[in-house]
């Protein structure tokens, strides 16, 4: 059974850097057919794709947030890490990670991050 | 940047068929995925790779594709189907993922 779990701070102060970790179980991040995305959803708003890391370590980022995002993976720990610099109140959202492979994608339950001083 | 277009809202009576469309230029080349989201819950995958249904998803949920439009069809709509529905795909290169703006389904 494939499971994903997001973890990170509940509250972050404006201008700080947000670091989120996605821990994957039941699937190897070295699998050639996989990729992991980060997605967020501000309260009451739509889903927004942020970043994706492919199995070959190629990365892609949302055009509007590219300058603030970085994604990496540690295959040995089965973790994918997203960092977002210079956060603001508009970055308050539930952040999800999702695994895409040859079959159905798998999502984590999400973690709510509030940006507040 | 690439966009997927969904109607903001769809209304249907119980027992009727609801169809939610999603349009995008790259849909003939890239698979589409459909998610259902109820308040306070994470998105639930309904359809992947245009037409495939994960185990546990009722047969009344189906997906189809025609040209630059994909459609989620809910047959025999039930009150519990009232939710937001999102389509998701990728641009032509498969590098950038994208979500539609979401469709609020109201069961009258």
Q: For A40-90, how does the pLDDT look when each residue is reduced to its tens digit (9 = 90+)?
A: 999 999 999 999 999 899 999 999 999 999 999 999 999 999 999 999 999
Which among A49, A107, A109 has CB closest to B99? Answer: A49
Task: Provide Rg for chain B, Cα atoms.
Answer: 13
Question: Which SS3 state, helix, strand or coil, does residue A71 take?
Answer: strand
pLDDT tens for each residue of B29-50: 999 999 999 999 999 999 999 9
Q: Residue A65 CB: number of other CB atoms within 10 A? A: 15
Identify the band that residue A99 occupies on the pLDDT scale cut at 50, 70 and 90: very high
For residue B1, give the chain A residue with the closest CA.
A63
A64 within 8 A of A51, measured Cβ to Cβ: no
For residue B38, give the chain A residue with the closest CA.
A44
Calpha distance B15→B23 (Å, rounded): 26
Alpha-carbon torsion angle B3, B48, A71, A114, nearest 10: 80
Task: Give the burial string for B31-61 (b: 16+ CB within 10 Å, else e).
Answer: bbbbbbbeeeeebebbbbebeebeeebeeeb
Residue A28 CB-density burial (10 A; 0-12 exposed, 13-18 middle, 19+ buried): exposed
Residue A33 pLDDT: 82
Q: How far is B98 from chain A (nearest CA, A)?
A: 6
Is the CB of residue A35 less than 8 Å away from at least one CB of chain B?
no
Q: How far is B42 from chain A (nearest CA, A)?
A: 6
């Amino acid at each position: 059974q494939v499971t994903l779990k997001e973890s990170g701070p509940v509250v972050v102060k404006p201008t700080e850097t947000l670091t989120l970790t996605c821990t994957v179980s039941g699937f190897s991040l070295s699998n050639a057919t996989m990729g992991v995305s980060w997605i967020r959803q501000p309260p009451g708003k739509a889903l927004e794709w942020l970043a994706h890391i492919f199995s070959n370590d190629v990365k892609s980022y949302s055009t509007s947030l590219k300058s603030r995002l970085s994604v990496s993976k540690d295959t040995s720990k089965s973790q994918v890490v997203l960092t977002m610099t210079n956060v603001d109140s508009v970055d308050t959202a539930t952040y999800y990670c999702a695994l895409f492979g040859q079959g159905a994608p798998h999502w984590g339950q999400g973690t709510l991050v509030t940006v507040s001083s | 940047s690439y966009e997927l277009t969904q109607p903001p809202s769809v209304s249907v009576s119980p027992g009727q068929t609801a169809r939610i469309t999603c349009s995008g230029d790259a849909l003939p080349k890239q698979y589409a995925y459909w998610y259902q989201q109820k308040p306070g819950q994470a998105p639930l995958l309904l359809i992947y790779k245009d037409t495939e249904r994960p185990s546990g998803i009722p047969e009344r949920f189906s997906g189809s594709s025609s040209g630059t439009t994909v459609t989620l069809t809910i047959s025999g709509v039930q009150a519990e189907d009232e939710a937001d529905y999102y389509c998701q795909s990728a641009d032509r290169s498969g590098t950038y993922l994208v979500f539609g703006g979401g469709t609020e389904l109201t069961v009258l």
